Structure 1
């Protein structure tokens, strides 16, 4: 399996586990003619299925419009999709916006795969930039090829201004991905916006950007010193701050409260790791600026100012977020290591790791500063490295009752597992399929291990449950090789669990239930 295909599977898995409970609109909503209303997402699905098998006619002119924009769209907006200033938005609305933002996030990461930066650079494409270091057309246009809008993208002249005689008419073809659920269907204005920043110096005198989108040279993943999970890329503003979707530029960080416009109580945001959450509008200017700045070397917990659109307890939602952070970290690690699982050869001494794979995941869960403090050529319990046991990241803290410095996030090791010992295997070496193979699993509290110690659970085909410990609940959670997060019932037999752990037994265990945000 290629690295690119793995990314697609991982993305799909994450969307499945995080969005599987997105509720359908009730069927008793009807318009004035008695016909059932369609949500924007349902309309897109219907339109796509109606056109995707139709042969495309030959086109001889440059007046081609986006297939998506040419489709008829419903003219009625569901009242649930409309925000009330200062009030909590409907869960159905947030779930739709969250799904849109995550698709935009994945598009950004595909663009990074191609350009190594979040946008094409002025060094590679000086013709794309004006004299102020600003793109001539919006970042939204540059994402089009990664949002299944390549035909529309190819119509733009990227070396001309967004409102040039050639580019201006294309603004009428705004893709639905950029339309908020309560935006009029004939509008070409979007509320998905970024904060525009500038390059300056940090406390050490190194180049640093005030936002994820500075004028001039764009950022790379490694420029997010605070961690991609702690940095905001995109926000949904109020309707009074919508702009033509092709127009470049961004919001002014110094006037962020005014720039956000008239919004609901919470504001949906996209973080640089591809996740989407809803942030309380009134958390205060210092906190907003810390979340927007990618390298001010501050990290704050999201838990205190997130708004949850679910009936699940906040603790369960936080567990899902922490597991998701590890799933995304796994994907990022694979990108950096030629689609090979940990440990890398460079992480071994005499064929054995000195530190846990959890330490080597640190740069990918927003903990690069902590990672840089480890002596990677010393064992986990050396006088220097042992001091970091007390600095375990929250992504590894899966149960507040577990002793500080210990984690329940473990792997199985041994023959026929994804971690057989020695250098990590490739994804090509999982013939049972990534969706059928457990990579990381949550052990019971009595089997938690020091998070920096290179120790996990030995796999025993006769009784794989034993090293996991004693569970109080009827399930635990696991991150599969495709990135999805699944509930693993403790009622599974030893053979069924063993099938999920082994990479080449040719067996599939059916009926696993995704760990969903919303109850069924």
Structure 2
């Protein structure tokens, strides 16, 4: 079996290096003490690591894709998906229109340079973008040499570093004239006028945006040549049994290649009136890393606990009976313990004492795993926090009822995962102070361009760190009469 064969190769390499290292150590120990590690040993170790990486990142036709490789593609697709949506947010369409830029198109209604070139400004590649002449063909004397500068975001994990060919492709379709003389696109990228969100009658979560095709389908990254949307299965080429796909809503899946060709047509068509059950042909175990899946499950448990608490007490935490002189003694995280399978720990607390009383303070180190999001954080601290203060659902420690959330659960943040430097003792009744002028500041020194927010409807979203302050304020406030106007990428486990 192929997987076992790869494992045997890896184990043999490990054994060979271990034996070699063991033999040399007894003979050259004094030399190594005086001169450091042997250069040959360093080269052997580096060669082994490269071989191991190659085995994990390379594809084999019709064999399952390894999770490590899918994660590498996923990181690239994540950036491409955000770039497409940033382009659309600025220009209303997913690509330049022939009406606004007729000079960008050839006589057949195709862009003269690839969609990848048009995304460069949204991928931090402005200088490269400015070198292109968008009104000239991709292989013109001026544009052709620029193909040597392919950004890594368009490079498959097993594509050689000196290659300028990409396997990240889109399906080209056309505009069909339907009954009533309306036009409908057969793919997200029909020839001619590009699509807008209004064209996704099946939903953006049911429409494929980008796929990774086989090595035999690689093209120069500046070339506007696309895959034929009428023969999607055939166009994929010699791929592994799992195909990474980026959907129009920004989510990334690993889809089994050998599904019915009509299903392929359905998932690349935005208006074919189908909503397929993706779980039937998705490699579920590959969608999140083990750590990401752990965090996702914990966030879901906390979200469900909030609603279980509300069902019992009539409001989100904290209920009046958990307040003393209208102030909390313990955090909402403590009072959710019975709803996250931690009733025994909850019963250890003295509920009529402060979080830092001599007794309750001894329970700090018993922080449940569900509240831990950073392995490097000090034991007893958590990053799971609500926004608190006036105009939030958690004003002065007292929670709101469901009816109080007049903006709707879908438009209101329940809690967030703040930066490690903002972590607080998990039992302490303190959360993030809400500043409508600069709400993101309270989250601390975020190390990524997005932070995680759990919405009151139970969905888990990535919120851009650079989200306009006004939009984030709308999300935090529960009855200001505003809904958000920015798209938040949803975290899904499949």
User: Which band: TM-score by shorter chain?
Assistant: 0.5 to 0.7
CA gap 1:166/1:313 in 2 versus in 1, 3 angstroms: closer
Maintained 8 Å contact 1:447/1:468: no
Q: What CA deviation, in whole Å up to 9, does each residue of 1:245-269 have, x standing for no partner? A: 1111311122111100011111011
Other-structure match for 1:495: 429
Deviation, structure 1 residue 322: 13
CA–CA distance in 2 between the matches of 1:242 and 1:150?
A: 24
Other-structure match for 2:152: 176
CA gap 1:37/1:245 in 2 versus in 1, 3 angstroms: farther
2:206 is aligned, of 226, 230, 245, to 230
Maintained 8 Å contact 1:240/1:262: yes
Other-structure match for 2:220: 244
Other-structure match for 1:296: 272
Q: Which has the higher contact order (CA 8 A, sep 6+)?
A: 1
CA–CA distance in 2 between the matches of 1:479 and 1:81?
A: 38
CA gap 1:510/1:163 in 2 versus in 1, 3 angstroms: closer
CA–CA distance in 1 between the matches of 2:144 and 2:414?
A: 40
Maintained 8 Å contact 1:444/1:468: no
Structure 2 unaligned residues grouped into runs of 5+: 1-13, 19-39, 320-326, 343-367, 374-383, 388-412, 453-459, 463-490
Other-structure match for 1:443: 305
Other-structure match for 1:117: 93
1:166 and 2:146 matched:
no
1:218 and 2:194 matched:
yes
1:96 is aligned, of 59, 72, 90, to 72
CA gap 1:78/1:502 in 2 versus in 1, 3 angstroms: same
1:470 and 2:331 matched:
no
Maintained 8 Å contact 1:446/1:469: no
Deviation, structure 1 residue 480: 7.7
Maintained 8 Å contact 2:254/2:286: no
Aligned partner of residue 235 in structure 1, secondary structure: strand
Aligned partner of residue 279 in structure 1, secondary structure: strand
Other-structure match for 2:46: 36
1:457 and 2:433 matched:
no
Structure 1 unaligned residues grouped into runs of 5+: 1-25, 40-73, 324-397, 400-407, 409-440, 450-454
CA–CA distance in 2 between the matches of 1:507 and 1:128?
A: 44
CA–CA distance in 2 between the matches of 1:484 and 1:262?
A: 45
Maintained 8 Å contact 2:309/2:317: no
CA gap 1:177/1:508 in 2 versus in 1, 3 angstroms: closer
Deviation, structure 1 residue 447: 4.8
Other-structure match for 2:59: 83
Maintained 8 Å contact 1:94/1:309: no
CA–CA distance in 2 between the matches of 1:470 and 1:204?
A: 54
RMSD: 4.7
Aligned residues: 336
Deviation, structure 1 residue 492: 2.8
2:112 is aligned, of 136, 159, 163, to 136
Maintained 8 Å contact 1:191/1:243: yes
Aligned partner of residue 269 in structure 1, secondary structure: strand
CA gap 1:31/1:287 in 2 versus in 1, 3 angstroms: farther
Q: What CA deviation, in whole Å up to 9, does each residue of 1:397-436 have, x standing for no partner? A: x69xxxxxxxx9xxxxxxxxxxxxxxxxxxxxxxxxxxxx
CA–CA distance in 1 between the matches of 2:64 and 2:44?
A: 29
CA gap 1:249/1:34 in 2 versus in 1, 3 angstroms: same
CA–CA distance in 2 between the matches of 1:152 and 1:118?
A: 20
> 1:179-328 alignment to 2 at 5 Å?
179-201=155-177, 206-310=182-286, 320=296
CA–CA distance in 1 between the matches of 2:260 and 2:298?
A: 25
CA–CA distance in 1 between the matches of 2:93 and 2:288?
A: 37
CA–CA distance in 2 between the matches of 1:262 and 1:31?
A: 37
Deviation, structure 1 residue 202: 5.0
Maintained 8 Å contact 1:202/1:296: no
CA gap 1:130/1:468 in 2 versus in 1, 3 angstroms: farther
Maintained 8 Å contact 1:100/1:177: yes
Bigger-Rg structure (1/2): 2
CA gap 1:112/1:295 in 2 versus in 1, 3 angstroms: same
Other-structure match for 2:356: none
Deviation, structure 1 residue 160: 0.7
CA–CA distance in 1 between the matches of 2:442 and 2:217?
A: 53
Other-structure match for 2:404: none
CA gap 1:278/1:37 in 2 versus in 1, 3 angstroms: farther
1:146 and 2:80 matched:
no
CA gap 1:125/1:243 in 2 versus in 1, 3 angstroms: same
